């Protein structure tokens, strides 16, 4: 995982090997790391960032952020003319009609109209006659 650990703080610290010889014990780094200077400290309380260069042939050109896409506008619900939430069961429908169609389909329900099968279905009256709504 990690070969060494360094404590960040007021300046450079000793490197410790944390990869072997006990889970909770730290020992001084091996001579292999003795000549390495992993961080060049510029001040007493500084933190240095690591910068990398890209090896690709393309230059990074800053671009302006793209504007957010316009909100989707759906046709009104085909059944009750309420605000549509998308296309469900092949037509533009609201959440209420979507749920009604799903329940009707799953239960294979048959409905009858107590009037003359010509009820007006709109947002406020859509729950009055299930036959005409379907």
Q: How far is CA 118 from CA 26, 91, 93, 126, in A?
A: 84, 21, 20, 13
Whether residue 79 is contained in a domain is answered as no
Statement: residue 52 has pLDDT above 80: no
Whether residue 33 is contained in a domain is answered as yes
| Per-residue pLDDT reduced to its tens digit, 6-19 | 444 555 555 555 55
Whether residue 24 is contained in a domain is answered as yes
Nearest one of 89, 88, 80, 91 to 130, comparing CA atoms: 80
Nearest one of 83, 10, 90, 73 to 46, comparing CA atoms: 10
Whether residue 63 is contained in a domain is answered as no
Cβ atoms 85, 97 nearer than 8 A: no
Nearest one of 79, 88, 86 to 126, comparing CA atoms: 79
Whether residue 50 is contained in a domain is answered as no
Structural domain including 18 reads 1-38
Whether residue 6 is contained in a domain is answered as yes
Instruction: Give me the pLDDT at residue 98, please.
Output: 92
Instruction: Give me the pLDDT at residue 49, please.
Output: 52
Instruction: Give me the pLDDT at residue 90, please.
Output: 86
Nearest-angstrom CA–CA distance, 75 and 49: 53
Domain count, the chain: 2
* Tokens describing residue 8: 């960040």
Whether residue 65 is contained in a domain is answered as no
Nearest-angstrom CA–CA distance, 127 and 96: 9
Cβ atoms 134, 104 nearer than 8 A: yes
| Per-residue pLDDT reduced to its tens digit, 55-111 | 555 566 667 788 887 777 778 998 899 998 888 888 899 999 999 889 988 998 888
Q: Compute φ and ψ for 32, nearest 5 degrees.
A: -60, -35
Q: What is the CATH number of the domain that holds 111?
A: 3.30.50.10
């Amino acid at each position: 995982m990690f070969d060494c650990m360094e404590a960040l703080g007021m300046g450079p610290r000793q490197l410790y090997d944390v990869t072997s010889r006990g889970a909770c014990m730290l020992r001084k780094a091996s001579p292999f790391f003795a000549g390495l200077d992993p961080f060049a400290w510029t001040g007493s309380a500084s933190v240095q960032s690591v910068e990398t260069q890209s090896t690709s042939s393309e230059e990074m050109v800053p671009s302006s952020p793209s504007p957010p896409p316009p909100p989707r506008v759906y046709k009104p619900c085909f059944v009750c003319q309420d605000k549509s939430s998308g296309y469900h069961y092949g037509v533009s429908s609201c959440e209420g009609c979507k749920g009604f169609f799903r329940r009707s389909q799953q239960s294979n329900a048959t409905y009858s109209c107590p009037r003359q099968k010509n009820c007006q279905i709109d947002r406020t009256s859509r729950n009055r006659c299930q036959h005409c709504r379907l």
